[in-house]
Amino acid sequence: LNDGTADSGDANTTDDTAMIIKQSGKVGIGTTSPTSKLQVTGLPSHADNAAAITAGLTTGAFYHTSGNLKIVF
């Protein structure tokens, strides 16, 4: 987690940052430069809900099919 400000903790701000909260309030998961309030990149791609479950995703997990956002049910 990197909020772009200095702190006295042991926060890791190297290239392996997985999530960032910008001072503007924009949140990025899988990106360090979000362009909207919440931006998630790197979602897995599956043909359908059954394929997502077979791949190990559980209820509530996000995936996409041909660019369409889906949620496992």
**pLDDT at 17 (0 to 100):** 84
pLDDT in tens, 3-22: 566 555 555 555 678 899 99
58 phi/psi in degrees, rounded to 5: -115, 170
* pLDDT < 70 stretches in the chain: 1-15
CB 1 within 8 A of CB 12: no
**pLDDT at 50 (0 to 100):** 98
**pLDDT at 14 (0 to 100):** 56
Enumerate residues 6+ apart whose C-beta is below 8 A from 1.
11, 17, 18, 19, 20, 21
pTM of the model: 0.63
